[in-house]
Structure formats: C-alpha cells, structure tokens
Amino acid sequence: MRTIEKVVYKFDELSDDAKEKARQWWRDCENQDSSTFDFTYEDVATIAETFGLDIRTRPVKLMNGKVRYDPCIYFSGFSSQGDGACFKGEYQYKAGAFKAIKTEYPKDEELHRIVKVLQDLQKKNFYRIHCSMRHSGHYYHSGCMQVECENSFDSYLPVVGEDDFIQCMRDFADWIYDRLEDEYNWIMSDEQVDESIIANEYEFTSEGEMI
C-alpha cells in the first residue's frame, strides 16, 4: 500500500486553462441533471393555465421510491437544426385570459400575441373550441405536435379558423423552447458556472480536474 499526496486548488486559484476545464466538467454534470429546467417547467405550466391550457403531467419515479409529476413538455436542443419543443395538453377558452396575461407578464409581446389570437378565434366560435395536443413522431419540435380541435357544443360543427388554432398551439410550443434556451444559456454562462462551482466549494488539481 502507498499514499499519494496531491495539492488541491480552489477554483479562484486555477489558471485560465484549468478554469475552463473545470467549467466544462461542471457543464457536463449539469447536462445530465434532469432537474435543470424544473423552474422553467413550473413557470410555463402556470402561464399556460392562465389562458386555459392544461399541460398534462407524467409520473417520474424517484430513487427514494417516491413519485413526482412533471409537465409533459418534451424538447431537444440547443444547437442542431430541428431542435424544438412540444407538449401534451388540453386547451379551452378561459374568460379574462388576455387581460390576465398582459397584467402578469406585461413585457412578453409574443405571449400577448398568441393569447390575443386565441381569444379572437374563440369569439368567432362562440367560445366553444377545445383543442387536444399530443406528441407524434421521433423528434421534439412544434411540428411534431398533433393538434385536434373540435366544437365542445357539437363535435359535428365546423371549427372556424382551425388552422389558426393549430398554429397558435405550435407557436406556444416554440415560445416554450425559447424560454428553455434562455434558461440554458444563463445556466451555462461562465459567470453562473463560476458562481455555482465556488458556492459548492469544489476542489481541483492544477489541471482543473475535479478532486
């Protein structure tokens, strides 16, 4: 048996090259963390509920044997053509939705546009349209989301502006993807990575390898 002693360094003590290696180690770990986007998922589900969209949830079994329920939001990203997001859910008219969205999220013009279009479409259909969304295919983007619309009063009645309803749901899926990408870019920024490494008091070799 032999004992090997190593000199360890705090992040601030590393060279620039070693710091970059330490950052990459942290980013690789973060990419494997299934909870990275929990806050974004919760925020999206709350916003969706505000204008009448119920994003379905799915059970996720935890290592301790318990179960949590995550929104059925699926995505791939963030650097390849065809990346995007989709979701599973049910939409119906909710009175006062546009006013509530503008009040609670006053700076999000794209969200305002989507909800306003939905409100105008519902008015043309006497506020009776119900839409169901589900994922279809092997990829995750708004075009892989199947949207079915029907008149909740009489399913045989035509849906005025059906294609526009479908486009609104897909636009919201694209809006979700933009929120996820913004969150990802923030989490992976040098400033945020450095702050997380320092806060967790990780130690490294002189080359930037985590001890």
Question: With 80 as the cut, is the pLDDT of residue 165 above it?
Answer: yes
pTM of the complete model: 0.89
The sign of the CA dihedral 164, 111, 116, 127 is: positive
Residue-level pLDDT at 34 = 65
Phi, psi at 77, each rounded to 5°: 180, 170
Judge contact between 77 and 83, C-beta under 8 A.
yes
**DSSP helix, strand, coil percent of the chain (3-state; round to 5):** 45, 20, 35
Here the tokens at position 111 are: 């969200």
**What distance, in Å, lies between the first and last C-alpha atoms of the chain?**
21
Amino acid, single-letter form, for residue 24: Q
Give the contacts of 48 (CB within 8 A, at least 6 positions apart): 54, 55, 89, 172
State the pairing for strand pair 84-87/73-76. antiparallel
Q: What are the tokens at 202?
A: 């990780």
pLDDT digits (tens, 9 = 90+) for 36-66: 888 999 999 999 999 999 999 988 887 888 8
For 133, what's the count of Cα atoms within 13 Å in the CB-facing half-sphere?
30
Q: What is the pLDDT of residues 96-139, one digit of tens each?
A: 999 999 999 999 999 999 999 999 999 999 999 999 999 988 88
Angstrom distance (rounded) from CA 203 to CA 134: 45
Decide which of 28 and 174 is more confident.
174
Decide: helix, strand or coil at residue 126: coil
How many alpha carbons lie under 13 Å from residue 110 in its C-beta half-sphere?
12
CA 59 to chain centre: 17
**pLDDT single digits (tens) 192-205:** 999 999 999 999 99
Contact yes or no for 157/151 (Cβ under 8 A): yes
| Average pLDDT score over residue span 141-152 | 95
Residue 96 falls in which region: left (phi positive, over 0), alpha (psi -120 to 50) or beta? left
